Every structure is written in C-alpha cells, then in structure tokens.
C-alpha cells in the first residue's frame, strides 16, 4: 500500500503569505495549474482512489487530480483539515511570527495535535482502503509534520501542488518522496 500526499494548489492567501489554516480559502488559477502538474508526478495507473480534506482548496485540487487520473473523487476526511491557526487565521506570516513566536498561543492548534490527527487519518485511510494505493490531498503543515514523524527529523516546507510518498512495508511506513523528490535509500 502507498499513500501519495499532495498539498493543495496555491490560494490567494498563500500568494500573500497569510496563515489560512482551517479557513476555507479557494484555489487561484496558479493552484489549479499546480493540481494538473501533480497528476504527472503521481503517474497514471498507480492509484486506486483519491481522498482529501473537506476544505474547498483541497477538494478542488483532488477533483482536478481525480479527473487527470481517470478516478472518481473519494471521500473527505475531517482529520485531514489543516492546523487551526486561531487568531492567526488570515494574518501575514511575518506578523504572526511576532505576535505568536513559534506559532504558540493565540488559539493556535499545537503541533502535537496536528500530528496526532495526521497519524489517525493515515490509520483510518489504511483501514478504509486496505492494500490500495490512495492519493491524499490535504495541507502543508499536516503533511510536513506528520511525515516528519516517519522521517525522524523535521522536513522542509511542503510546496503547493507537490507530492510526498509514504509506502507501507512489513516493518511499517517508509517515506519515499517529499516535494516531488525521491529520497535516497539508506
């Protein structure tokens, strides 16, 4: 089984450097193009189903990818919603960094909560689609920190429209790709 995590395409708030978290901000035209490009990275024929976060930017990205791969759009999972930035929602990143250093306080969801949701989402998707290859469209922070759990170190920022690949082996989940880059095997 493999999970192909795709960060949704760009939104206007991404372009402006604003925290959008659980705010439901739509894709812009660049984001739609990034979704079409993700189809090429994922590769046709390798995927059984595509699921996503319920936020519109993730659902639209997933729909574009589903069409590109010739798949029906699968369900949305609330566990995949992006980190809740509380009072930081809509605030420019630089301003948020001054107000809430380390993105702590201001009602911002703690990272351990985000990772816990991400891990539960993986378990749920694996239970819903055993031995299937599932493309999962969601958000940068939940992808970055959940997959960091498997990498054993904090990953770089996840780019809009990029693909990360997690594969289940007999010993557990193994991270194979991040930001469209295949990881070297050690």
Please identify which of the residues 82, 89, 109, 139 carries the catalytic annotation.
82
Is residue 111 within a helix (H) or strand (E), and if so which, with residue range?
helix 111-128
Taking alpha carbons only, the member of 30, 33, 34 closest to residue 7 is 34
**93 a catalytic residue:** no
Q: Which residues contact 153 (CB under 8 A, 6 or more apart)?
A: none
As a whole number of angstroms, the distance between CA 139 and CA 127 comes to 21
Active-site annotation holds for 153: no
Dihedral (CA of 9, 183, 121, 23) sign: negative
Q: Which residues are known catalytic residues?
A: 8, 82
């Amino acid at each position: 089984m493999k999970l192909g995590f795709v960060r949704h395409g760009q939104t206007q708030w991404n372009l402006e450097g604003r925290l959008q978290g659980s705010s439901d901000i739509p894709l812009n035209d660049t984001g739609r193009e990034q979704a079409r490009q993700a189809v090429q990275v994922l590769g046709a024929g390798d995927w059984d189903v595509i699921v996503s976060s319920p936020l519109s930017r993730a659902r639209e990205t997933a729909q574009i990818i589903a069409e590109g791969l010739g798949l029906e759009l699968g369900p949305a999972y609330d566990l995949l919603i992006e980190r809740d930035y509380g009072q930081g929602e809509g605030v420019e990143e630089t301003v948020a960094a001054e107000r809430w250093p380390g993105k702590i306080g201001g009602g911002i969801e703690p990272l351990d909560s985000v990772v816990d949701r991400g891990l539960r989402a993986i378990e749920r998707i694996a239970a819903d689609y055993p031995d299937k290859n599932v493309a999962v469209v969601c958000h940068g922070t939940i992808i970055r920190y959940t997959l960091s759990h498997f990498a054993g170190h904090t990953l770089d920022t996840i780019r809009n429209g990029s693909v990360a690949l997690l594969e289940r082996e007999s010993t557990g989940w193994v991270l194979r790709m991040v930001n469209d880059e295949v990881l070297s095997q050690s």
